[in-house]
Structure 1
């Protein structure tokens, strides 16, 4: 490959790896953020009589928060299938000689960038879904608050 392509592939790999790292960091922040209103619900709601409509909204909001947390956990859950050549998962199954042979073989760096980009895209799609679910849950909780006050 021409040197310019090597430089651009290095930059693309670094960019995609940074995006994957960002999704994992965002996931940690989201799990913390989702747990706060859920903890408040668990502390405040049990044993308290709620009007029918408020109870429905509280239940909907709580289920939504739990669902969003599960989606985020799926985002950060490691995928251990698909042992592509040149990956640490592939190397974990190699003997020392197989590892050395793999490292000595030419690699398809562009395919590696595409594979990493697909991982990042899946992670971002999961975060987006978790955000959408959370928005619905928060609207339901706000509606519960309003119906309880009325």
Structure 2
């Protein structure tokens, strides 16, 4: 028979595992996005310099490049570790402990401490998702600008 405390421990463990998986997922997506953003930016850097672009095309290419750079910066903020404000029961907290403090912390498995840790991890995951969403929106705008630059360049006489 499970007691209410055992049931709560099980749910807190599941919540911790789920939240850590979401953090991992956002970090994996961030790596893919950084790689994806760098490819068109590298192409622009390789192709555009030294070419006389019509003013409209130049402005659109510039806006697209700035957008890709902004999206990359947003993703870098997502993966940037936050090292302050760690709750008890967390390796960041333990890094500041004495051996005695660590033993005392590990002996305490209070549900409130574990719940605080789940909340803290959930806040980290939420910030990461918000950052990825922002990077996606910025990328969409940058791609529209780059697509428009391509269309204008194709329609421009003599290009």
TM interval, short-chain normalised: over 0.9
Gaps of 5+ in 2: none
2:27 equivalent to 1:24:
yes
Q: Call closer, same or farther: CA 1:105–1:3 in 2, change over 3 Å.
A: closer
Q: Deviations over 1:93-146 (max 9, x none)?
A: 111111111111243212211111111010000000000000000000000001
Question: Separation in 1 of the partners of 2:139 and 2:25?
Answer: 20
What are the ranges of 5 or more consecutive residues in structure 1 without an aligned counterpart?
none
Partners in 1 of 2:116 and 2:104 — Cα distance? 19
Q: TM-score, normalised by structure 1?
A: 0.96
Alignment-derived partner of residue 106 in structure 2: 103
Match of 1:36 in 2: 39
1:119: which partner in 2? 124
Give 1:2 deviation, angstroms: 2.0
- In structure 2, the partner of 1:148 is 153
90-99 or 18-27: bigger deviation: 90-99
Q: In the TM superposition, what are the counterparts of 1:61-140 in structure 2 within 5 Å?
A: 61-107=64-110, 108-140=113-145
Aligned counterparts of 2:93 and 2:115: Cα–Cα separation in 1: 18
The question of whether the paired residues in 1 share the 8 Å contact of 2:88 and 2:117 is answered with no
Give the TM-score, by structure 2 length: 0.91
DSSP-derived class of the 1:2 partner = helix
Query: Deviation above 3 Å: which 4+ runs of structure 1?
Result: none
* Paired position in structure 2 for 1:7: 10
What displacement does 1:89 show? 1.2
Structure showing greater Rg: 2
